[in-house]
Structure formats: C-alpha cells, structure tokens
Amino acid sequence: MDRIRIVGGPELHGVIPISGAKNAALPLMIASLLTNETLTLENVPRLADITALLRILQNHGVDYKIDGKRPGEVQTTGRTLHLQAAAIVDTTAPYDLVSKMRASFWVVAPLLARMGEAKVSLPGGCAIGTRPVDFLLMALEKLGASIEIEAGYVVAKARKGLRGGEIVFPKVTVGGTHTALMAASLAHGDTTIHNAAREPEIVDLADCLVKMGAKIKGAGTSTIEISGVARLGGARHAVLPDRIETGTYAMAVAMAGGDVLLEGARPELLQSALDTLTASGVDIISSNEGIRVRRNGAPIMPVDVSTDPFPGFPTDLQAQFMALMTRAKGASRITETIFENRFMHVQELARFGAKIRLDNDMAIVTGVEKLTGAPVMATDLRASVSLVIAALAAEGETMVHRVYHLDRGFEHLEQKLVACGAVIERLAG
Ligand code: EPZ
C-alpha cells in the first residue's frame, strides 16, 4: 500500500488550484439516472470516489465518456463527464458496490422515481459513526413509496410513481435533502422539504436539476418547494469549487506559514471557516482570482469552534482545524455536533506530541511549542489530511499510511503542496 512521506518545516508559497467539489460531483452524477438524455458535468475532480461511482452507475445502465486532456490544459483542470442513462438495465445496487461508498446509496431516489422500484444495499456504518439512512427512507415514504428491508437491502416500490408530499427532516441531513430533491423532481404534484440542508452542494444539485427541467424553489434555504414534472432532460453543468479542499489548504498554509493563492476558491462557500482562521491570526484576502491565505510569522491564536450544518463550521474541516490548534498559543475547545465518532484523528495527532483531551463531543486542545514527525495512519479522508497538515509543521519526517483515504477526496494532493514548496512524496508499495 502506498505511503506519503513528509518532511516538515518549509513555508508554503505559490498558487494552489482548487478542484471541483467531490460532494457536489457525486449527487450530480447520480442525477444522470433521472433522464434518458445526456448530462454533461464539467470540472469533475479525478478521485477514487468518482471512479467508484462511475462503476456503480454503469451497473444501472449509464454510459459515460470522459473528455481527454486538451492541449495546453494543466493536469489539475477538472474533467468533463458525459453521462447517459438511455435505459435503466438494473434497479439493484449490490452490497459489494454500495458498501465501498455511502453516497452511492442515494441512487435509490432516481431509480425509484424513474422506474417505480429500487433495491439498494444498506450502506452500514463507517469510521465516523453509525450514519443511519432512516431520514432518507422516511422522505421516500412521504412521497408514497413503500419501503421494506430484506436481507440487508432496502426494497423501495412506487408502482404508480411517486407523489408529492410534506417532508419534515427532524435533523438537517445533506443526503436526505439530495434524495428528496431528486425523488420529488419526478413525483406527481408538489413537495415541500422542511428543515432542508442549506449546503452549497444542495444548491449545486438543485441548479443542475432546474437546468434538466425540474421546478425547484428555495434551495439554499431551510424550505425547498418542488413541483414534480413528468420527465427531465439533458443539461450541461459545471461542478462548484470544493469548499472543503479550500479550507484544508487554507489551514495547511496557516499551519506551515507562508502566502498562497487558492485559485478559483469562493469565500461565500466557507465564510465561517475563513472567519475562524482570521480569528486565529491568519490573513485572508478574497479577490476575483480566489482566496489568498497568508501567515508571516504571526503566532497561531487559539479559537473555540463547534461544527454545525451550513452556514456553520463544517464537520469536514474539524480534523484539519484541530491539527492547526495543536500549535496554537493556548487552549481551544472543538465541539463536534454532527457525527458521534469523528475524533479518530485525536490519537494519531497525539503521535506528533499534540496535547488533546476528549470530553464527550468536545476536544480540548492545548497548543504545544513543537510537533515531531511520526508514523501515522487514519481511518477517513478528512482525518488523514489533518495528519498531513500536522506533518507540514512537525520537526523531522512523517510517514502517513493508508493513503487511499486521501485519494478518495483530494485531487493531486502531493503535487499541489510540492508546487508551493512542501517536502512531500508518495512512496509506492
Ligand atoms: C454528507 O454526508 C457528506 N457526504 C459528508 O462528507 C459530510 O460530513 C456530511 O454530509 C455532513 O456535512 C457527501 O456529501 C458525500 P448527513 P451525509 O445526512 O449526507 C444523521 C466527507 O468526508 N442522519 O448530513 O451522509 C447522520 O448520522 C463526508 O466528504 C441520520 O440520523 O450526512 C449525521 O449525524 C463524510 N439519519 C447527521 O444526520 C439519516 O437518515 C448528518 O448527516 C441521515 C443522517
């Protein structure tokens, strides 16, 4: 298995192009199942999760083409995918495919809406918690589906098609909102989603569905109204920039020091994280080109944060921010409110010499003068990248194991950091 070797110390200077968002690209790709026409997606990142989802969609009958690299195009430019589900050949999403990636469970919505049936393996838990799908199933039931669990599979049926309804999510759920949006777009009649997720990836999916012919109002607010249509058509849509990748590199610069332009990044997608970084002593300058992040010798100040649904501080940046706080001039409290078990990086950060105490859903991080490189490994992709951030400022060498987690969510991680002066390389085998 590949490893990543990092020698800490150098500041980061230069430009990092921000890729298309993984968590927007995945539901957008799934939306291709809603129509027999071609959905063209631009700015799709090159990631293991994207490849895995292509395999799953292919199993349902999606044909896809990937545009080749054009002359003069830099490697980090996202790809263009053309997806066409002319006919759905299989409404079953099997365990061996779904178990590898949770988001693939969301195919249940378009399959059910278009074909009147879907059989999708339950995704199961993962390293960050149990992550049930009860809200997703409740939403489909509100749209008239019958749901049964048979031998580890969700069997969803709506023989006469889905019909509009009132969906009230008891807790904000990104996946629940994605599935409800897709299902309601092809349902008979009107649907209202209450307590909808407001994440930018929801807005991106809704924008694309509207281009496909859906009637959606209110995406980006807590109440979304959808008037179902009989059919959806093809469209062309560019995936929005990855706010989690943006925040991750911003924290890397904050940690290592230096001055980097995060090219193509959009501040409104992660304002709360940028405000937190500003409070920690980092200069954040937004422009048409992107976001410039700068820390020239100023100390890292401790800041308390609590994760929250958008527009709050994202749970997907919690581990990275904790890495930064390990070097702060004082103690900070980091509270995780979204997932019950998302502190797996704490024991790995401790290997660098970080001082972190856990108290239920809160981590109390006491900044230390120096971190020291160490062999580390992590159990999910955001935790893995927090170890990379710690390593950039640690004395000596760090070896990050299980890098396949990083490949799921960070396009060209080593190349982007090397271009800014980091000492980081991938060792095969
Ligand atoms: C999405 O997961 C993201 N994944 C996650 O990113 C992200 O951490 C999460 O949203 C929160 O922002 C993708 O977009 C592919 P939820 P999702 O439904 O949709 C509970 C990453 O690293 N819940 O918003 O699965 C759930 O357990 C990943 O890129 C139920 O109880 O998250 C959690 O506590 C990790 N029942 C909370 O709601 C349900 O049926 C929010 O989860 C559904 C969710």
Domains of the chain and any CATH numbers: 3-19+241-427 (3.65.10.10), 22-238 (3.65.10.10)
Identify the pLDDT of residue 339.
92
| Nearest atom (ligand 1) to Cα of 409 | 29
Q: What is the pLDDT of residues 138-153, one digit of tens each?
A: 999 999 999 999 999 9
Where in 206-325 does DSSP place strands (E)? 215-217, 224-227, 235-238, 258-263, 283-287, 290-295, 305-306
Instruction: Please report which helix (H) or strand (E) contains residue 189, including its range.
Output: none
Instruction: Please report which helix (H) or strand (E) contains residue 202, including its range.
Output: helix 200-211
Identify the pLDDT of residue 378.
79
Give residue for tokens 């990086």.
345
Instruction: Please report which helix (H) or strand (E) contains residue 328, including its range.
Output: none
Asked whether residue 4 carries a pLDDT value surpassing 80, the answer given is yes
Identify the pLDDT of residue 37.
98
10 Å Cβ neighbour count for 285?
Answer: 12
Among protein residues, the one whose CA lies closest to atom 7 of ligand 1: 316
Instruction: Please report which helix (H) or strand (E) contains residue 318, including its range.
Output: helix 318-325
| Nearest atom (ligand 1) to Cα of 103 | 15
Among protein residues, the one whose CA lies closest to atom 18 of ligand 1: 173
Among protein residues, the one whose CA lies closest to atom 27 of ligand 1: 131
110: preceding bond cis by omega (within 30 degrees): no
> Ligand 1 center to residue 175 CA distance, Å?
6
| Nearest atom (ligand 1) to Cα of 129 | 27
Q: What is the pLDDT of residues 144-193, one digit of tens each?
A: 999 999 999 999 999 999 999 999 999 999 999 999 999 999 999 999 99
Mutation choice for ligand 1 from 131, 204, 408, CB with most ligand atoms inside 8 A: 131
Asked whether residue 74 carries a pLDDT value surpassing 80, the answer given is no
> Ligand 1 center to residue 131 CA distance, Å?
7
Asked whether residue 331 carries a pLDDT value surpassing 60, the answer given is yes
Identify the pLDDT of residue 125.
59
| Nearest atom (ligand 1) to Cα of 178 | 19
Question: Out of 126, 127, 210, 368, which one is annotated catalytic?
Answer: 126
Higher model confidence: residue 111 or residue 97? 111
Q: What is the pLDDT of residues 302-328, one digit of tens each?
A: 999 999 999 999 999 999 999 999 999
Identify the pLDDT of residue 131.
77
Mutation choice for ligand 1 from 108, 142, 169, 173, CB with most ligand atoms inside 8 A: 173
pTM of the predicted structure, to 2 decimals: 0.97
Q: DSSP secondary structure string, 91-127?
A: -EE-HHHHTT-GGGGGGHHHHHHHHSEEEEE----BT
DSSP bridge partners of 261: 15, 292
Asked whether residue 77 carries a pLDDT value surpassing 60, the answer given is no
Among protein residues, the one whose CA lies closest to atom 6 of ligand 1: 316
Q: What is the mean pLDDT of residues 124-151?
A: 88
> Ligand 1 center to residue 266 CA distance, Å?
22
Asked whether residue 65 carries a pLDDT value surpassing 80, the answer given is yes
The binding-site residues of ligand 1, defined as CB within 6 angstroms of any ligand atom, are: 23, 26, 102-103, 129, 131-136, 171, 173-176, 315-316, 338-339, 381-382, 409
Identify the pLDDT of residue 127.
67
Catalytic residue status for 420: no
> Ligand 1 center to residue 106 CA distance, Å?
12
With bands split at pLDDT 50, 70 and 90, how would you rate the model's confidence at 76? very low
Asked whether residue 132 carries a pLDDT value surpassing 70, the answer given is yes
With bands split at pLDDT 50, 70 and 90, how would you rate the model's confidence at 380? confident
Q: What is the pLDDT of residues 207-248, one digit of tens each?
A: 999 999 999 999 999 999 999 999 999 999 999 999 999 999
| Nearest atom (ligand 1) to Cα of 133 | 40
With bands split at pLDDT 50, 70 and 90, how would you rate the model's confidence at 126? low
Identify the pLDDT of residue 1.
82
Mutation choice for ligand 1 from 19, 23, 98, 107, CB with most ligand atoms inside 8 A: 23
Q: What is the mean pLDDT of the chain?
A: 95
What is the length of the chain?
A: 429
CA distance 273 to 253: 14
Among protein residues, the one whose CA lies closest to atom 41 of ligand 1: 173
